[in-house]
Amino acid sequence: MKQIRAISIIDDDPITVFGIKKMLNSINVCDDIRAFANGKEAIDHIKELITQNQPVPEVIFLDINMPIMDGWQFLEEFINLPLEEKIRINIVTSSIDLYDKKQWEYFRQKTHHLIDFKNKPLRKSEIAAITKAA
Amino acid sequence: MLNNPFTLVGKYDVVLQGSQTNINNYLIKQLPKSTVFLDTKLNVVYASDSLVQEFNLPKSTILGLPISELFDTSDLEWSASMKACLEGLNQEKEIQQITDCTNCTIWVEYIMIPWYDQSENVIGIILQLEDVSNRILRELEQDKLKMHLREKSEIANIGSWEYDHETQKLSWCNTTKKIHEVADDYQPNIDKAILFYKEGYSRNTISLALFKALENKQAWNEKLQLITASGKEIWVNAAGKPLFQNGIYKGLIGTFQDITDYVMSETKTKESEHLLRTVIDSLPLNVYIKDLDSKKVLVNKSECDYLGVDDPKELLGKSDFDLYDKDMAQISRDEDLEVMEFQRPILGRETTSVKKDGTSTTFLTSKIPLNDDDDKPYGLLGISLDISDLKQKEHELRDLINVTSLQNKKLINFAHIVSHNLRSHSANFSMLLDFLVKEVDEDERENIIRMLTEASDGLLETLENLNEVVAISTNTNIEKKPVDLGRLITKVEQNLTGFLQTNKADIINEIPKNTSLNVVPAYMESILMNFITNAVKYKHPDREPIIRLSLTKNDKDTILSIEDNGMGIDLNKYGDKLFGMYKTFHNNQDARGIGLYITKNQIEAMNGRVIACSEVGEGTTFKIYFDETN
């Protein structure tokens, strides 16, 4: 029984994408896992789903530093999408910049979606806890 | 003249005989002094014509009239005297105020003696009268004048003195004596008087003045010092002039005034003025006073120095319109009017003053309205502190702070970049190793090891990039030298020939030949290489890339422009990240996100700066500012 309908991984680093996918597969939680190399690709995909009236991913793993559209720019657009469903967004970054923490606080206050903040590397032991529908 | 004495004779008690009477009458009539003969009943028997004239008596009717009708004799003394006289007693001369027949009050001096006949019998009174009203009034007037003079001289402290040449006598009035601090009965003489003057200038001056007065009939008026009897040193105004009568020297008269207070206050005022002048001239401030027309009426030394004149007189009467440009002067004049009209002082306002020669000075200016006793404005007091040096230092300090904070920001940014990049690699290592340890599937293990190698290569590259950046930022001893820009561009073009040909890129070099720029040659080459490759990499998909290089100049910078017709970039979105490390904006596989970051560091290492202008779909222009003055 798969608990999660669909998961998106947004990260420009293929190794991180490989790692998260591998961990998710090991707990066998979802069959529909997609990866996007930057925020732009991901948001375009989600918008497409909305226009086609299809369900959006319930859990999103989001990197911050990416080309073209970074994590924060993605969030800025994402929280303005007409989504009633509460989505879980796990920010996964190697940044320890205080600015990024502040940005996280800022977005948490601004949206009904659940936003979590994790430093790389993600551990297998914690992946199950953050891969639940919000 | 009596008209007919004969007809009157019969009326008298004392009958004079015929021709005798006539003779008497005729003689008495001619007496030069007013005289009247009275009988024992005090009726007029004879009277001199002078009496009638002197006292305005009616000519025809006085003979036979009682004296009381001619003069009011009700006064007791007068009556008593007459009575005594009739008893044969001579009377003293008297002066009395009486009322004459015209009801005027006059002063009369009279003397009466008994009138004897041949038998020594008293037959009446001979009365001689003189109207002395004028004399008495004059005497009174004189008394009054003297009193006035005394009062005046006491109040004004102006004494007088007189020297009689004939008697060699010098007389001082009381005030003069008081000024000398001698007793009222002090007897001065010329020698003593001169000795009162202070030895030296004062005594010499007065001696000379006296000499000149006698020699040249010259008057004098001198401010001199005097030592009083009690030893007090005072200032006096001594004035005098010789008196001549019909050309003959008679003596000297003069005035004498104690002016110590005046001289002292004058000295004090002068001292205060001098002190004030010294103070304002020594102040390291520009001080001036302007009148209602903003014309200078006082300037201090600093103001003179500032405006480049030696003598304050050169500035007095001049307005700012004479000293500064019209615009500058108008600003100042407007300030002045504001201060004087609205009585609103300007305190510590920062102003910039530009002289006609273009020198600019920053002042901390205060302008304070000046009002007279009636609170009417008559000008303003201006005080300006030259803070140009301070301003310059402040400017330098601000620049330094800017540079420091910029460098600090760069440093923090760099630290974050380093931290982020190293962490992301180490996180990957950690994760992949974790997988590897637990992985049993051989293929997957190989896959993981391949990724570990990739991660290792990535880390190595990152370290190389960081190293390059550190080298640029820390190498402060880089040597700048003049480089022919045109030749450098040709060199870069040659190095990129293949790349440019493949992309059908065209470089238009508009930089004038033999343009030399003071740069670090290696950096400059790298910069040109980077901008040109970027321009080609991010070309517009629908057209062949054209890159235009040109050079312009402004006041202090030489500006190199590199303009392309590429796809452009939305600077509103990415502007702040354009030159950031590991920021890439286009979906380009070659983008490493390091080129512009290094380029910017290289430009800044040469004291230059770079800005970008871009329009999406149109192209991008990078402008590099080289500060050649530095």
B445 touches chain A (CB under 8 A): no
Of B382, B394, B386, B300, the closest CA to residue B345 belongs to B382
- One of 3.20.20.70, 3.40.228.10, 3.30.450.20, 3.30.470.160 is the CATH number of B309-391, namely 3.30.450.20
Cross-chain residue pair B435–A19, CB shorter than 8 Å: yes
**What is the tally of structural domains in chain A?**
1
- Which CATH number is B481-627 given? 3.30.565.10
Residue B495 near residue B528 (C-beta atoms within 8 A)? no
Find the CB nearest A65 among B430, B582, B585.
B582
Residues B457-498: tens digit of each pLDDT: 888 888 888 888 788 877 666 788 898 998 899 889 988 888
Return d(Cα B341, Cα B393) in angstroms, integer: 36
B587 touches chain A (CB under 8 A): yes
Minimal-distance CA residue of chain B relative to A65: B583
Token pair 């310059």: residue: B392
Nearest CA to CA, how far is A18 from chain B (Å)? Answer: 9
Q: From the CB of residue B529, how many other CB atoms can be counted at a distance below 10 Å?
A: 17
Cross-chain residue pair B587–A124, CB shorter than 8 Å: no
Task: Write out the residue range of the structural domain in which residue A57 sits.
Answer: 6-127
- From residue B382, alpha-carbon distances to B286, B313, B319, B332 in Å are 8, 17, 13, 11
With a cut of 70, list the residues of chain A below it in pLDDT: 1-2
Of B141, B50, B125, B46, the closest CA to residue B83 belongs to B125
For chain B, give the longest Cα–Cα distance: 202
In what side-by-side order are the strands of the sheet with B506-509?
Answer: B506-509, B546-553, B557-564, B619-627, B609-615
Mutate: best of B412, B421, B424, B582, partner A, most A CBs <10 A: B424
Dihedral over Cα of A55, A57, A58, A62: its sign: negative
Residues B70-97: tens digit of each pLDDT: 777 676 677 888 888 888 888 888 888 8
With a cut of 50, list the residues of chain B below it in pLDDT: 1-17
> What confidence score (pLDDT) does residue B156 get?
76
Strand A59-62 to A6-10 pairing: parallel
Return d(Cα A59, Cα A92) in angstroms, integer: 13
**Domain B149-264's class?**
alpha beta
In what side-by-side order are the strands of the sheet with B233-245?
Answer: B169-172, B158-164, B248-258, B233-245, B220-227
B411 touches chain A (CB under 8 A): no
Residue B45: Cβ-neighbour burial (10 angstroms; 0-12, 13-18, 19+): buried
> What confidence score (pLDDT) does residue B2 get?
41
In a domain, residue A132? The reply is: no
Strand pairing partners for B158? B257
Residue B517 near residue B524 (C-beta atoms within 8 A)? yes
Burial annotation B80-90 (CB, 10 A radius, 16+ → b, else e): ebbeebbeeee
Give the pTM: 0.49
Find the CB nearest A67 among B431, B435, B585.
B585
Strand A114-119 to A88-93 pairing: parallel
Assign residue A28 the CATH number of its domain.
Answer: 3.40.50.2300
Find the CB nearest A120 among B424, B455, B587.
B424
Residues of A in contact with B423 (CB under 8 A): 94-96, 119-120
In a domain, residue A134? The reply is: no
Minimal-distance CA residue of chain B relative to A119: B427
Return d(Cα B159, Cα B465) in angstroms, integer: 108
Residue B128 near residue B51 (C-beta atoms within 8 A)? no
Cross-chain residue pair B428–A121, CB shorter than 8 Å: yes
In a domain, residue A23? The reply is: yes
Return d(Cα A133, Cα A130) in angstroms, integer: 9
Token pair 């054209």: residue: B546
Residue B568 near residue B616 (C-beta atoms within 8 A)? yes
Question: 3-class secondary structure for B544-586?
Answer: CCEEEEEEEECCCEEEEEEEECCCCCCHHHHHHHCCCCCCCCC
B416 touches chain A (CB under 8 A): yes
Nearest CA to CA, how far is A51 from chain B (Å)? Answer: 25
| ipTM of this complex | 0.87
Instruction: List residues of chain A with CB under 8 Å from any CB of chain B.
Output: 13-16, 18-19, 22, 38, 65, 67-68, 73, 94-97, 119-124
The count of CB pairs under 8 A between chains A and B is 64
Helices (H), B95-170: 133-156
Residues of B in contact with A123 (CB under 8 A): 434
- One of 3.30.450.20, 3.30.465.10, 3.40.50.150, 3.40.50.720 is the CATH number of B5-131, namely 3.30.450.20
> What confidence score (pLDDT) does residue B230 get?
93
Return d(Cα B23, Cα B29) in angstroms, integer: 10
> What confidence score (pLDDT) does residue B292 get?
93
**Rounded to 5, what percent of chain B is helix, strand, coil?**
45, 25, 30
Residues of A in contact with B583 (CB under 8 A): 67
